[in-house]
Amino acid sequence: MANFDLMRRLTLDKGGKIILLVMDGLGGLPREQGGPTELEAAHTPNLDRLAREGSSGLSIPVARGVAPGSGPAHLALFGYDPLAYEIGRGVLEATGIGLQVNPGDVAIRGNFCTVDDNGIITDRRAGRISTEEGAKRVAVLKDIRLPGVEIEIEIAKEYRFAMVLRGAGLHGAIADTDPQQTGVAPLPARALDPAAEKTAELVNQWLAEARARLKGHEPANMATLRGFAMEPGLPKYADVYKLKAACVAVYPMYKGVAGLVGMDVISTSAHDTTADEFEHVARIWDDYDFVFCHIKYTDSRGEDGDFDAKVKVIEGVDEALPRLLELNPDVLIVTGDHSTPATYMAHSWHPVPTLLWAPATHMTDRAQSFGERECIIGALGQFPAPDLMPLALAHAKRLQKYGA
């Protein structure tokens, strides 16, 4: 696990260049006993070659047996102890769409929902309205005013929006108003700490006004709020690792966590393909020491329970991979933030396949392809995910020796 005081002492401000390619939810399981996982079933000649030329292993995002959320799993890949640094979902959503979250602000994720004439939720996601329809509802809410509080609110994606409250004496210890089920009314905002009583009262005022304004705007005629959180004060990449770092991602959450650790978030389109993302990496390559590139749909297809579709996504990444190799990175890491087996249809605790390719500095191991079983025999072994960043820096010749 990265010791930040040690990293500050040992890191150099020059050296090789690093790409961290994260296929979200990469790890999987066989759909029948003894069969291949999604990664093993995929035709991946480029990844298999890198596995033969590099070192493989299995990372543990948080702890053995613990299925991680995406926030802590990515923090771990970035070298942060996910048990020491907690980021609320509201902060991730808000920063991911470009809202500024300052110390003392409260960030919130919101969902538009559908309620009947009695205020009972009939659809928690408002029929998954389009982003364009969601933006129209946000426009209705933009000029709600609260005493002593500045409010920023923007659409995120489809039925989701993010909001930041800015003012004196605010606190983020507030329970979600989303009851996580239909057939009941939205919950009132409730303080989980006496210091949050004022904020909870203000939030309830906002919710009452939002309901009045959204009336008649079916299916998105109400909103629920969740993930109340404050800026976590994470150490920044430039300070800890002396890296000028960038993030190429499509989904707001991953842009958010990258921005919180000080990466520059590169502009992308919601419709970008894997090939498009790799072109973004190529476009900025000369300007950065470290680029994090995130691929979402391995996770999505796993959560859908679609084994074959997840295989296709992995194959698409492999097919596009030569574009990254053309950049001649000194270190290329290919991994996932967690496992999302299609048979499980959710994040799981299973260790995550990891490949480290650094032609000038590594020794090959016995792995002949990139897959879970081959990673078991790889030189990296099973290791905590935060160990990846010191390894990447070492292979990029960006760490001095420790001691005399």
Task: Count up the domains in the chain and report the number.
Answer: 2
Domain-located, residue 189: yes
Domain boundary among 205, 229, 253: 229
Domain boundary among 203, 229, 255: 229
Judgement on whether residues 162 and 187 belong to the same structural domain of the protein: yes
Does residue 96 have a pLDDT over 80? yes
The pLDDT assigned to 1 comes to 58
Judgement on whether residues 214 and 289 belong to the same structural domain of the protein: no
Judgement on whether residues 259 and 298 belong to the same structural domain of the protein: yes
Determine what percent of the chain is predicted with pLDDT higher than 70: 100
Position 86 confidence tier, pLDDT thresholds 50, 70, 90: confident
Domain boundary among 214, 229, 244: 229
Mean pLDDT of 135-148: 95
pTM: 0.87
Mean pLDDT of 343-364: 94
Three-state SS for 242? coil
Domain-located, residue 403: no
The rounded Cα 51 to chain-centroid distance in angstroms is 25
Question: Minimal CA–CA distance to 372: which of 40, 44, 46?
Answer: 40
Q: What is the pLDDT of residues 217-248, one digit of tens each?
A: 999 999 999 999 998 889 999 999 999 999 99
Domain-located, residue 402: no
Three-state SS for 70? helix
Position 88 confidence tier, pLDDT thresholds 50, 70, 90: confident
Beta strands in 61-206 (DSSP E): 106-115, 121-123, 150-157, 160-166, 174-175, 190-191
Judgement on whether residues 263 and 216 belong to the same structural domain of the protein: no
Q: What is the pLDDT of residues 197-211, one digit of tens each?
A: 999 999 999 999 999
- Separation between Cα atoms, residue 23 and residue 292, nearest integer Å: 11
Mean pLDDT of 46-61: 97
The pLDDT assigned to 74 comes to 96
Judgement on whether residues 243 and 275 belong to the same structural domain of the protein: yes
> CB–CB of 211/217 below 8 Å?
no
Mean pLDDT of the chain: 95
- Separation between Cα atoms, residue 253 and residue 74, nearest integer Å: 10
Domain-located, residue 315: yes
Domain span at 115: 92-229
Using CB atoms within 10 A of its CB, is residue 293 exposed (0-12), middle (13-18) or buried (19+)? buried
Domain-located, residue 401: no
Judgement on whether residues 289 and 140 belong to the same structural domain of the protein: no
Give me Rg for the CA atoms of the chain: 22
Mean pLDDT of 44-70: 96
Judgement on whether residues 72 and 121 belong to the same structural domain of the protein: no
DSSP state of 146: B
What does the block give as tokens for 195? 């210091």
Judgement on whether residues 276 and 320 belong to the same structural domain of the protein: yes
- Separation between Cα atoms, residue 36 and residue 13, nearest integer Å: 43
The pLDDT assigned to 237 comes to 95
Does residue 299 have a pLDDT over 80? yes
Angle between helices 252-260 and 89-96 (to 10 degrees): 100
Does residue 24 have a pLDDT over 90? yes
Beta strands in 218-313 (DSSP E): 222-229, 245-248, 264-265, 290-295
Judgement on whether residues 244 and 222 belong to the same structural domain of the protein: no
- Separation between Cα atoms, residue 358 and residue 169, nearest integer Å: 49
The domain that holds 308 is classified in CATH as 3.40.720.10
Domain-located, residue 400: no
Judgement on whether residues 108 and 169 belong to the same structural domain of the protein: yes
- Do you find a cis peptide bond into 235, omega within 30 degrees of 0? no
